Structure 1
């Protein structure tokens, strides 16, 4: 069976292991990279036209940007150990992160139309944390960079879905510029499992089924959601973490539930 064009497997175990650009994804807004560094390793970045949200998936690293020293950030050992450290950087600001421990760093980018927001550390203690759903649809959300916090394009959130539960469910989509009912947003999912040998499933599909792909996702995989509904299921015994990066022409998250599954919201 050939691999879905929406499923991105990690390339190697060290350095830049995953890279999604607008060009490689065939879309306009979202960029995503995943770096795995050994202690003492360094990663650098910065773009003249794109804002960045750095997310410490696990481990500790010292961050600098421009002439600013943000010190040592990160405190969790795995992505299942509470909220992450994060750093927002506007377009035109070069940055560097040096690993103090083994470090897994996500680099989330999107167009920055002005570059006039200041860089800032996003305090883990200030991140909104909530649970959604009922029964086997319960999942736990941490809002890293929601629409109520300053940014030009980026929306960044992470979710933990207990084993045997569904997430991004009932199936919803956000692929039409039809505000206030629905916004047009591209999206990436970066998946991790606990224990790491676990797996889950994600389906990406449209009403007319012109896009309809079901994927088995494993630890470290990224899935692309250019359009359509995109539910996820975590298999029994394996909790699923994912980091979502979203961006589109307007910075707001308004979604549309699949009509045939809308009844699940009303249970």
Structure 2
């Protein structure tokens, strides 16, 4: 039986737009995080009105034009494949606003949602402003694109990052969690992982588990799958010969990312 945390693409066609994933509260049981993935053919349009949620529109691949009110961000997007490993453009839109996407080329767009706690300006998050950092060492190295980190005040709830992990390496490792609202030691954040794998025939492994093992799921995750992380530790392992990409969306009652490492594995960080 497939894990309820693992969601496969479910293609719904709306004109020249294809909804690859639609994972909102009614679909997932998550309280804070929502996610959509949309494929757009050239010249296709997609329109949405936000109510009580804010949205980060990530031009995953291809080029799009994003319009909201008087704002028009034309032909944004920097790559044809996420595995070009360079940052892309995104647009942040607060709740209560309407946005329109138009595909300049064939494009894939991620829509990342969280509660809109205050009205904030619509903002183009330029690729050149996205912070790039390398985390970990040895076989736990990965590269991170910080699209909407908690240090960026552009959003009221949303946190959005991209992560690349090479074959034979682990990511989100040593296993860490953020499922307790006990700041300053740890924050409560739900999370989704949208995965891509290069070559596309590959797979990665992701485990989601809690200390008491009331939640303990180990999944074989394929290209374009999504994993839900309502709670618990959530490491990712990448087989040799493949490269892993994932887009993380996080949100909770406070917009702070403070994680807690699994004590059984934290000793790994002490290696020289």
CA contact (8 A) 1:51 1:112 kept: yes
> Is 1:39 aligned to residue 37 of structure 2?
no
Match of 2:221 among 214, 217, 220: 217
> Is 1:6 aligned to residue 5 of structure 2?
yes
Distance across 2 between alignment mates of 1:11 and 1:22: 16
Distance across 2 between alignment mates of 1:13 and 1:124: 29
Match of 2:137 among 128, 134, 139: 134
TM-score after normalising by structure 1: 0.97
Residues 192-219 of structure 1 deviation map (CA, whole Å, 9 limit, x = unaligned): 0111111100000001110000000000
> Is 1:263 aligned to residue 262 of structure 2?
no
Runs of 4+ in 1 over 4 A off after TM superposition: none
Deviates more, 1:245-254 or 1:9-18: 9-18
Distance across 1 between alignment mates of 2:207 and 2:51: 35
TM-aligned CA deviation for residue 23 of structure 1: 2.2
CA contact (8 A) 2:143 2:163 kept: yes
Matched residue, 1:231: 235
Match of 2:161 among 144, 154, 157: 157
Matched residue, 1:73: 76
Deviates more, 1:46-55 or 1:201-210: 46-55
Q: Over aligned residue pairs, what C-alpha RMSD do you find?
A: 1.0
Unaligned runs of 5+ in 1: none
CA contact (8 A) 2:78 2:127 kept: no
CA contact (8 A) 1:13 1:36 kept: no
TM-aligned CA deviation for residue 10 of structure 1: 0.3
Unaligned runs of 5+ in 2: none
Match of 1:206 among 205, 210, 213: 210
TM-aligned CA deviation for residue 46 of structure 1: 2.7
